[in-house]
Structures are given as C-alpha cells and as structure tokens.
Amino acid sequence: MTFKKHLSLFTILLLFLSQTTFSQSLDKPNILWISVEDISPMLEVYGDQSIKTPNIDRLANEGITYTHAYSTVGVCAPSRSSIITGMYPVSIGSHNMRTGPHYAFREPENETYKDYYAQKDIKGRNVPEYATVPPPFVKCFTEYLRAVGYYTSNNAKTDYQFNSPITAWDEIGREATYKNRAAGQPFFAVFNHEITHESRIFMKKEDPMLADKSKVIIPKYFPELPVVRQDVGRAYSNIMELDKQVGDMLRSLEEEGLLDKTIIFFWSDHGGPLLRQKRAVGNSGLHVPLIVRMPNGEMGGSKIDDLVSLMDLGPTVMSLAGVEPPDYMHGRAFLGPHKTKTPNQYAFGSADRFDEAVDMSRSVIDGRYVYIRNFRPELPLIYRNAYREQIDMTRAMIEMDQKGELTGGAAYIFMKTKPVEELYDLQDDPDEINNLADSPEHQAKLKELRNALSAWQLEIGDLGFVPEYDLVNMMWPGMVQPETAPVKFETSGNQLKLSSETEGASIAYQIGEEIGGKHWHLYHQPIPTGKKVAARAVRIGYKTSSISQFEN
C-alpha cells in the first residue's frame, strides 16, 4: 500500500471517528497503564518465589496474566518506539539505542540536536543526535484515541526515539494526570515507574535491602558471589518498592470510584536490568510480565499462553476503546471487539547499536524455543558498555573473565566470538546456556525458526542492514532535520479547514483564550469559525512548524 493511500485512510478514519458524539464517548472504558522498567517475569505469579509482591499479585488475581509477552528490543527507547507506533523498530529506523535526548517531551522550541555526541556507526562514521522519521502514515496511536474523545495523559517518560508530537497527548510531564479531564470524559493515562530501572541498581546500593539475598534466584549465567547476590537482591528489592507504588495507585483509584471503571495494564518495557538481561536479544532480554485487569475483575486469575508483543499494546487499547486499528500497524489487538483472529505464532526481536557498542542480532521466539541470528559473529556476546559497568557485579565479572576465572554459564556468556546461530530450548534450558544449533535432533526446529526470521526481515524491510550514518541521512537529508510545512486555513461557510503540505503531518490547534497555553487540541474535523485560531503542524521526526494564526 502506498504512503498516500495510508495517509488517505488515516484521514478518512479520523473523519469517521469524529462523528462519534461526546455523549457516546462516555460509555468508553477508562484505560490506565502501569508502565515499569527493566523487569523480567521476576514475580510470584510467574513462578518466582524470591519475594512477595501482594499488590501485583492482586492485579493478577483480579486480572489476566499473559505468560508469553515479549518486547521487540531488550532496551527502553527502541522498545518504546514500537509501543507508541505499533511498528517494529527495525521497520521505521528507531532500532539504535539511542538517537537523541528523547527521554521526556521537549517543547518544539526546545527541540535541538547535537552534531556530535561520541557515537559511531558500523563504519566508524560520526552519528549525530537525531529524531527517527518513520513513513508518513505512521502515527502515535494515542491520536486515534483523542479523535474519539479520550483524554490522554503521560506521566512522564516518552523515550520514543523522536520527540513526542504535540498532537499525541492532552497532557505530558511529571504532573500529567487523568484528573484534569472534562467531567465524564474517558481517559487513557500512562504512569511510568522508574524504581526498577537498571540505574537504580547502583544508585540505590546503599539503601536498605528489602529482599532476602539468600533466597533470590541467581541465573546460571552468573557466578555465585556475594556481589552478585547483592545486586540481584537489589533488583528484587526494587521490585518490592514498585509493588508498594502499585498498591498506592490501586488505592487511589478505589478512593476515586474508578477502579472498576478502568482497564489496567501492568507491563515492563523489556527484560531485567542486569548483564545478559537488558540489551539481550533472547528470552532473558525480551520476556516481560504483562497483566491486564478488566473492570470488576472479569476473567480474574486467568492465564493466557498466546504470544503477545508489547507492540500489540497500542492496537489493543484502541480495540478496547472501540477503534479498529489501522492495517499498517504491525501490532495486533489481543483484547476487545477488534481482537485479532490469528494470535502471533512468533515474537521477533532485534539488537543493534547500544550506546557506544555497535552490533546486530535478530531473534524469533515461539514460546518454547529461541532462535538467534548473529550478523556480527566476530564480536563478543558481552561487549563493553560504560553505562552498565556502573553496576558492581558487572565490573567484577569482567575482571574475573580477564583473569580466566569464570566457569559454567558465566564463562559461556563471556564467549569471545558469537556463533552465527543460537538455538535454546527454554523448557530444559531457561537460562539459555546450551546452544542446540548443531544438535542433529533439533535441525527441523532450527530450520523452521531460521526461515521464519528471514521471512520476517524481508516482510518488514529490516533497516538494520543500513549503516546508521546513511540511515540518518535518508531520514534527515544532508543531516538537517526536515521541517513540517505550516498550517493553511480554508473557510467553507461557517467552518474552518486546516491542512499542511507535509505528507503525514498531524495538526494541533488552539482557540480564543487558549492561545499561548500549553494544551493543544488534535485537529480531526473542521472548526467552527468565529474565534481566533492558532495552529501548527508536525510529522514524527520533523521539526514542528511555526505557529499560523487565523482571525475572522
């Protein structure tokens, strides 16, 4: 399907959705995301007895637990780009970690980029800061919700590999909340919890330890050392703190009378915070917890074994809101009236540049087996990365490896070069340390997953084969950020129509006394004339247009 046809379909859909009256939208469910960072299924509901998490357990007992949920990338920014767009990062150019200072929303006037920030591509060429530019038909899925009357808020992390368009959220930032919506207006609210992030392993190492270090599970790819138990214990201790935050949120919703009027999603943006977890392309980096609590505890305590990608979250929210996801999205709804009739057969993952480390691997998981294809087999599996080496156990393991002191699973992950292919049976080898790629009895499975991965790469147009310097130049010709064309106004009777010449641009506007404020409406239908209007256009990855004004 062509870009223009996709854009036309989006416009038609917005016009159709705009016919929904506000009174009808009152019947739409509230939807809330508890978005957490850097945890694998390290929870009792998934069989891990290391700690107690009564509030997360409550969510599971009153909700649906998905046992096979996976991120598309084992690190936050590329993963979050897939969540907000419903697209594979390697298909839209957002797969390298990270492209710029996109941790949080910046006002358009503050969106600037450095020409140099010490990153190199595979050919050693300078990679500047940049914003990913997806195809013009790609939108933040929240725009579809705003078009049918939802109040959307994000507190507060974005990290989409591009600055969040002003059309994506009604409210964004540390103070963003659903509480500022109009009376009776349905909401989609995101609350990001950072307590379990990788950085908290070293930032909180002097804090009281809540977990019993002697009882936490140590993966077989870590040596049994006090420093390892300390940092693994810290990861679990941070989850216990997270559990208290989840409890506070549930109590707040109960006190407001919203708990049983709100669909709650609990999920992590990728796997655990430690070595061979975060940034890994196998199960240890991609397998995440996902729990959905429906109003009144519908299907409470149930477990679903279907394969789900975090990329499916946006389409699923749209489906629950009564909006059919557009066909360009790779993600598919797993709940609601537009739930897919064909669950995912596989979950696909990618690993490319992580800060200063350049690599390229791809994976496919069928729920039991993990297949990994390494396109840079000459490189070690555990590469040097300054950020994660702030963790004590990581430095200790590196030193032990240099002295030849690692054995067993720990020695395995410190392999000096990688095999071209890896195959692991998670049923017998949950820690992925016994490569079955050369096993005669596993050749049929190897071939199946190898072919599935190759077909997927061709289908989605894997951009990992494009050196990053060239990729940036494709999206930003001449290494200059493109700018969205300004809004044009056209009157038709007593209505005002807004447009931009930039293909794929969305338009935000303010009316009358709103002009100059921070809140922008999403333009999706003609505006009544009679008041002064200010508007600006933005396409993902482009510089937001200047403000255009119309006065009657």
d(Cα 160, Cα 163) in Å, to the nearest integer? 7
- Residue 268 within any structural domain of the chain: yes
Whole-angstrom CA distances from 136 to 294, 462, 465 are: 34, 18, 21
pLDDT for res 24: 31
Which of 92, 47, 31, 72 minimizes the C-alpha distance to 269?
A: 72
Number of domains in the chain: 3
- Residue-number span of the structural domain to which 516 is assigned: 488-550
Q: Which helix (H) or strand (E) holds 543?
A: none
Strands (E), 185-340: 187-193, 262-268, 287-293, 302-309
For the chain, residues with pLDDT lower than 70 are 1-26
Q: Does 126 lie in the same domain as 183?
A: yes
User: What CA–CA distances, in Å, run from 99 to 18, 286, 420, 473?
Assistant: 35, 21, 27, 13
Residue range 516-550, pLDDT digits in tens: 999 999 999 999 999 999 999 999 999 999 999 99
* Structural domain contains residue 218: no
Q: Kindly report the CATH number assigned to the domain that includes residue 322.
A: 3.40.720.10
Residue 552: per-residue pLDDT: 77
Residues 523 and 439 in one domain: no
Q: How far apart are CA 394 and CA 77, in angstroms?
A: 22
Asked, for residue 223, whether it belongs to a domain, the answer is no
Look at residue 219 and tell me if it is in a domain. no
Shared domain for 164 and 264, answered yes or no, is yes
Give me the catalytic one of 76, 147, 166, 534. 76
Per the CB < 8 A criterion, the answer to whether 366 and 423 are in contact is: no
Same domain flag for 389 and 402: yes
State whether 362 and 500 are in the same domain.
Answer: no
| Domain shared by 398 and 503, yes or no | no
Residues 73 and 169 in one domain: yes
Last residue of a domain, one of 303, 318, 346: 346
pLDDT in tens, 293-305: 999 889 999 999 9
Q: Examine residue 283 and state whether it is found in any structural domain, yes or no.
A: no
DSSP secondary structure code for residue 424 in this structure: E
3-state helix/strand/coil string of 426-495? CCCCCCCCCCCCCCHHHHHHHHHHHHHHHHHHHHHCCHHHCCHHHHHHHHCHHHCCCECCCCEEEEECCE
Q: Is residue 282 part of a domain?
A: no
Task: Tell me the whole-structure pTM to 2 decimals.
Answer: 0.95
Residue 397's SS3 state is helix
Annotation says 140 is catalytic: no
Q: Which residues face 550 on adjacent strands?
A: 533
Q: Quick one: 430 and 403 in the same domain?
A: yes
Q: What is the mean pLDDT of the chain?
A: 95
Q: What is the pLDDT of residue 336?
A: 97
pLDDT for the residue numbered 296: 86
> Are the beta carbons of 330 and 91 closer than 8 angstroms?
yes
Report yes or no on 208 lying in a domain.
Answer: no
Last residue of a domain, one of 479, 509, 536: 479
pLDDT at 293: 98
In a domain, 210, yes or no: no
- Of 306, 330, 346, the residue that ends a domain is 346
SS3 track for 107-145: CHHHCCCCCCCCEECCCCCEECCCCCCCCCCCCCCHHHH
Residues 401 and 339 in one domain: no
261 and 168 in one domain? yes
Shared-domain flag, residues 193 and 340: yes
- CATH code at position 529: 2.60.40.10
Verify that 342 and 359 share a domain, yes or no. no
CA pair distance 168, 84, nearest whole angstrom: 9
The first and second tokens of residue 240, run together, are: 């216990």
Can you tell me which residue has the tokens 């767009």?
Answer: 85
Nearest to 370 by CA among 281, 275, 282: 282
